[in-house]
A = this chain, B = another copy of it.
Amino acid sequence: MKLEKYQIEEHNHAHRSTHQQRIDYVRSWVSNSDHIIEKLIEFQIAIPSWALGTGGTRFGRFAGAGEPRSLEEKIEDIGLLHSLNKSSGAVSLHIPWDIPKNPKAIKALAAQLDIKFDAVNSNTFQDQKGQQHSYKFGSLQHVDKTTRDQAIEHNLEVIHYGKELGSSSITVWLSDGSSFPGQLNFRKAFENTLDGLQKIYGALPDDWKMFVEYKAFEPNFYSMTVGDWGQSLLYASKLGPKAYTLVDLGHHLPNANIEQIVSLLLMEGKLGGFHFNDSKYGDDDLTVGSINPYQLFLIFNELVEGMDARHMNHATGLGWMIDASHNVKDPLEDLLQSVEAIMIAYAQALLIDQKALEYARQKNDVALAQEILQVAYRTDVRPLVAEARLRSGAALQPLELFRTLKVREHLIKERGTQTVATGL
């Protein structure tokens, strides 16, 4: 299924006057609204290929219907999202779930839908059919060199596929770790992992980045070999200038101050990118902004301030990606809600009067500093986000249009109800 331009236009026409009133109101209060709208238009969030199907937990999976059955259909799904919001113009592929059989055709399809190829992802947390060595006890950390080599080889293969498609970064998330005290020599696990990462790093094309993702726990329940930002930074520093830390919002211990981590990684020039989602307990992989939107805003505050301080381009300076699992919602609807939440947080952060904030800090005026943040946060920026969509040819109300056009029903008709997309 593909959305036609006229469908967007009809929808926007119907909402035009209401929207106009709203955006006029916001513009009358916000001095830099055009600047913000331009920034919003540029900002693109990659959709991970595995988030297009219904996810599950270890207790079960309640499949959806009309889910993509192939890489082509996954890209078509992202095309649908992108035509609705013009903010989802990239895909993050997962190997081996998404091995392109015909890279040229895939590239052409993506180009046609205005979809870029963001970071490719390797998978050494599952065993694949016919795989010689098992990752039951880890991959790059493994005590056996043959298993480590196999994992390295797989990553090289992922880079190969990425190059074919035009990607320029690889995300390495390792589930390596241990579930019991005694299982692992932490130091040797670190050293093995570093050695493997160095070999993968060595194979990186010059213009590529490597993102080293960390996670506090799960699927290992005692230790993780890339367990926190400190460890990830240690790897990235030892690897070299093309290696960076990737922050997944759900990969922390309870109560962690993620925004401070973001600020310090930026300071070190070692922040590579983001996996957006939300969570209450662990790596819950919920819709972005559904649990703690203020935290998301605070993170964007650090991003805006920190990237500006380093003269980084907001849109291209870091890798922006959603990583969520849609267990009880329609995956496409969930992704629309996630993108909306990100754009809102970004817009609010752009609203912050950074000069005034700096002044308040210089005066140790804590109440005023809070006030400045909250004035931005409490502002209803939805009209700005909608205006950015309007200007880039997307829908004023993407979720509403998705439902009005009965997109899922069409996809079910095309693909059937028994589809199960690859992924978790």
In the assembled complex, the Cα of A137 lies from the Cα of B301 at a distance in Å of 21
A372 to chain B, nearest CB (A): 6
Residue A136 at the B interface, CB < 8 A?
A: yes
Which residue of chain B lies nearest to A147 when distances are taken between CB atoms in the complex?
B364
Task: Judge whether A117 is part of the interface by a CB distance below 8 angstroms.
Answer: no
Question: Scoring A residues 210 to 246 as 1 if CB is less than 8 Å from chain B, else 0, what string do you get?
Answer: 0000001111011100011111011000000000000
Contact B361 A143 (CB under 8 A): yes
User: Which of B180, B284, B330, B399 is A369 in contact with, Cβ under 8 Å?
Assistant: B180
Task: Verify if A130 is at the interface (C-beta below 8 Å from B).
Answer: no
Which one of A55, A179, A185, A293 has the highest number of Cβ atoms from chain B below 10 Å of its Cβ?
Answer: A179
A264 and B181 contact, CB distance less than 8 A: no
Docked-complex contact A217 and B281, CB < 8 angstroms: yes
| 0/1 interface trace, chain A 239-266, chain B, CB 8 Å (1 if under) | 0000000000000011111011001101
CB atoms of A366 and B180 under 8 A apart: yes
Nearest chain B CB to A278's CB is how many angstroms away?
9
A187 and B337: CB pair below 8 A? Answer: no
Select which of B136, B184, B190, B327 is within 8 A of A62 by beta carbon: B136
A291 an interface residue at 8 Å Cβ cutoff?
A: yes
Which of B218, B231, B279, B305 has a CB less than 8 Å from the CB of A281?
Answer: B218
Q: Are B302 and A280 in contact (CB under 8 A)?
A: no
Q: A134-B62, A399-B371 are in contact. Are A179 and B284 (CB under 8 A)?
A: yes
> Which residues of the other chain, B, contact A264 by a CB distance below 8 angstroms?
186-187, 190, 231, 234
User: B residues within 8 A CB of A417?
Assistant: none
- Given the complex, which residues of B lie within 8 Å of A125, measured CB to CB? 59-60
How far, in angstroms, from A267 to B191 measured CA to CA in the complex? Answer: 9
Closest to A262 in B: B186
A184 touching B221 in the complex, CB below 8 Å, given contacts A127-B60, A328-B179, A399-B371: no
Interface residues of A in 153-207 (CB under 8 A from B): 175, 178-187, 190-191
A358 lies within 8 A of chain B by Cβ: yes
Q: Is A14 an interface residue (CB 8 A)?
A: no
A112-168 CB contacts (< 8 Å) to partner B = 125-127, 134-137, 143
- Complex contacts, A382 vs chain B, CB 8 Å: 378
| Beta-carbon nearest neighbor of A298 in chain B | B181
User: Nearest chain B CB to A194's CB is how many angstroms away?
Assistant: 10
Kindly list the 6 A-B residue pairs having the minimum CB-CB distance in the complex, ordered from nearest.
Answer: A230-B230, A182-B369, A62-B136, A221-B284, A57-B219, A186-B263
8 contacts between A and B (CB under 8 A): A21-B28, A59-B424, A180-B369, A183-B370, A223-B257, A229-B230, A254-B255, A344-B378
- Which residues of A pack against B, CB within 8 Å? 21, 25, 28, 55-60, 62, 125-127, 134-137, 143, 175, 178-187, 190-191, 216-219, 221-223, 227-231, 233-234, 253-257, 259-260, 263-264, 266-268, 279-282, 284-287, 289-295, 298, 301-302, 305-306, 309, 327-330, 333-334, 337, 344, 357-358, 360-362, 364, 366-367, 369-374, 377-380, 382, 399, 424
